[in-house]
A and B are shown apart, each in its own frame.
Chain A
Amino acid sequence: MQISNPQQQMMMRMAISEVFQKMFFMIPLADLVVAKGKQFQCFVPIACPPDEELTLCLKIDQELALSLTENFLGLSGDDISEAQSNSTVLEILNMVAGNFLNQIDPLGRYQLGIPVAGIPKEGTISICEEFNFESHSLVVLLRGSIS
């Protein structure tokens, strides 16, 4: 089954929207915004042995990360540690990646790795989805392309 790039983009958008609406109670706003303040970045490797390797990356305004953590854990901002906020964003990436793979790779060719904080090594970007949640920026990139 060959899935075109626009279809992949749509699936990625749907995966992100579902995760954000269901567990973080956020619906994206239509207009885009530029990143502001401190950012948090993380990525998760997605491998297809023997030699295909993709990376799904997420970049988020730290302030948005805090709001998301409040919503996810059902707590107020003051009670949230940076570790909890980072753990929440890593879980978001895990859910987005899993949800995307469930749609795009039902037979399970690709292996989902463990999300980690940081910036991944360079690679061709095949999908770039930008969002505005509560006037803050969230960017999801897929490096490498799905065969």
Chain B
Amino acid sequence: MSKIVVRISDMAVSNTIGSSIVTYALGSCLCLVLYDKKLKLAAMLHSLLPEGKDKTSLPDFNPFKYVDTAVPLLFKECYKFGATKHSLKAYAFGCATIRDAANVMNIGDRNYTALQKILWKNNVFLEQEFVGGTTSRTVEIQIDDGLILLKQGNSAITIQTG
């Protein structure tokens, strides 16, 4: 089974049967997973910071770095495969408090809040969320059946999508 790895500030969309999409070492970053059951289409995003809409004119601007600019692109990429807003189910991971022990910057919380804001504005429900806490997470979605394998700390969870 081939694995498509999503690095920080990146995304992947795939309908390749027999493959999975995975992201590792998810801390305060947000990982958003979308799945379309009928199309067997999976999408994954790994964003570092909450807001980048005022940075779009910067020369090295990467829209996947920021939750508010990345989420629309992830959905739009799925639409190219024939998915619709209603056919995609959304799952959120990460947004933990890591390193910044006093949580001064609240990056994890801010990433999560930025996600909620954009989903609400665009009429999308978050089906399930595994966010917050202080553990690092690994998230993998199997394209064939939409099963999400979540490792957080020493525990592993399987999430049924769709």
Contact = CB atoms under 8 A, between A and B. Distances in A.
Interface of A: 21, 25-27, 30, 71, 74
Interface string B8-47: 0000000000000000000000000000000000000000
14 contacts: A21-B109, A21-B113, A25-B113, A25-B117, A25-B120, A26-B113, A27-B106, A27-B113, A30-B104, A71-B117, A71-B120, A74-B120, A74-B121, A74-B123
* Secondary structure type dominating chain A contacts: loop
Interface of B: 104, 106, 109-110, 113-114, 116-117, 120-123
Contacts of B123: 74
Contacts of A25: 113-114, 116-117, 120
B32 to A, nearest CB: 15
A27 B117 CA distance: 12
Given A25-B113, A27-B113, 8 more contacts: A21-B109, A25-B114, A25-B120, A27-B110, A71-B117, A71-B120, A74-B122, A74-B123
A27 B104 CA distance: 12
Contacts of A21: 109, 113
A73 B96 CA distance: 27
Contacts of A74: 120-123
A110 B139 CA distance: 47
Contacts of B116: 25
A92 B27 CA distance: 32
Contacts of B104: 30
B144 to A, nearest CB: 34
Cβ-closest 10 pairs across A and B: A25-B117, A74-B121, A25-B113, A74-B120, A25-B116, A27-B106, A27-B109, A27-B110, A27-B113, A21-B113
Contacts of B120: 25, 71, 74
Contacts of A71: 117, 120-121
Contacts of B106: 27
Kindly name the residue among A25, A27, A74 whose own CB sees the greatest number of chain B CB atoms within 10 A: A25
